[in-house]
Amino acid sequence: MRKNSVKNVRVNAEVMRELGNIIRSGIKDPRISPMTSVVAVEVTPDLKFCKAYISVLGDDKAKQDTIKGLKSAEGYIRRQLASSINLRNTPQITFVIDQSIEYGVNMSKKIDQVITADNSKSVEVETELEE
């Protein structure tokens, strides 16, 4: 099976949906932040390994604690995944922090700052021209 085959894309989507449900409702570990979401999942074509990209809203300590909590609950998550998805093999999950949402928010703030600075300069120039 190729990496981007239709079957692999469907498996990735299904695993991502189920991982989100398990993390949101199944895990009671206090280290895991309530603002945790699964951004993307890459399952290898042989269905043995899975990389789950996790986004955590919060500071660096919250991110590190969430990853530690997820790693300690990996067996439980894998067992729940096996019971909810009928796959030949249940993949071994590796959790990776994804910073794309945080990066996007920071870029949006910078763009807004530049726009407001540009607007204030144009207002200053207009008032100087009127005088």
Question: How does pLDDT run across 38-72, given as a tens digit for each residue?
Answer: 999 999 988 899 999 998 888 889 889 999 999 99
Contact 40, 96 (CB under 8 A): no
pLDDT band at 110 (very low <50, low <70, confident <90, very high): very high
Q: In what order do the strands lie in the sheet with 49-56?
A: 36-43, 49-56, 92-97
pLDDT band at 111 (very low <50, low <70, confident <90, very high): very high
Joined tokens for residue 60: 């660096």
Joined tokens for residue 50: 């899975």
Question: How does pLDDT run across 7-47, given as a tens digit for each residue?
Answer: 889 999 999 999 999 988 888 888 888 888 899 999 998 88
Quick one: which H or E segment has residue 73?
none
Q: How many Å is the maximal CA-CA distance in the chain?
A: 77
> Residue 61: how many CB atoms within 10 A of its CB?
9
Q: Between 67 and 87, where is the model more confident?
A: 67
User: Quick check: 3 pLDDT over 70?
Assistant: no
Residue where the block lists tokens 């990066």: 103
Q: How far apart are CA 16 and CA 31, in angstroms?
A: 21
